[in-house]
């Protein structure tokens, strides 16, 4: 954002999702108070897999097991140093594939009507 005024975080999730869809970015970082709301907003887009991280381990696992392309952080829950650690690990970790690939494939398709 550009100032201290309250903003609607789904708008920022939509902007990032559009940039990834256009190929302007391969990955992104989104921040809200807890990371939860903005991750939910981002995950509405089929090509986005946003994971909330609270520490380096959760950041690593969201990439390693879920092939997350968006890191969601909670500004009210973690400090700047932890956020930097999460980002570093997120960017340095590759998707493990294997048994996780079939699950990721299911996350990236439209659900069938019940």
Rounded Cα distance between 6 and 70, Å, is: 22
Token pair recorded at residue 114: 């019940």
**Catalytic residue from among 45, 47, 54, 65:** 65
Distance (Å) of CA 97 to CA 16, 67, 87: 25, 8, 21
Question: Does residue 86 carry a catalytic annotation?
Answer: no
* 32 carries an active-site annotation: yes
The single residue of 32, 45, 86, 100 carrying the catalytic annotation is: 32
E strands along the chain, which residues?
28-32, 50-52, 70-74
Please report the sign of the dihedral spanned by the C-alpha atoms of residue 24, residue 79, residue 87, residue 98: negative
Q: What are the residue numbers of the active site?
A: 32, 65
């Amino acid at each position: 954002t550009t100032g201290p005024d309250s903003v609607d975080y789904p708008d920022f999730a939509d902007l990032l999702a559009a940039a990834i869809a256009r190929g302007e970015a391969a990955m992104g970082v989104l921040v809200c108070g807890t990371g939860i709301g903005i991750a939910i907003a981002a995950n509405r887009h089929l090509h986005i897999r946003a994971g909330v991280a609270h520490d380096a381990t959760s950041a690593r696992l969201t990439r390693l097991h879920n092939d997350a392309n968006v890191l969601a952080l909670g500004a009210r829950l973690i400090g700047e140093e932890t956020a930097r650690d999460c980002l570093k690990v997120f960017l340095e970790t590759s998707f493990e594939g294997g048994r996780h690939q079939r699950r990721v494939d299911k996350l990236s398709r439209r659900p069938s009507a019940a």
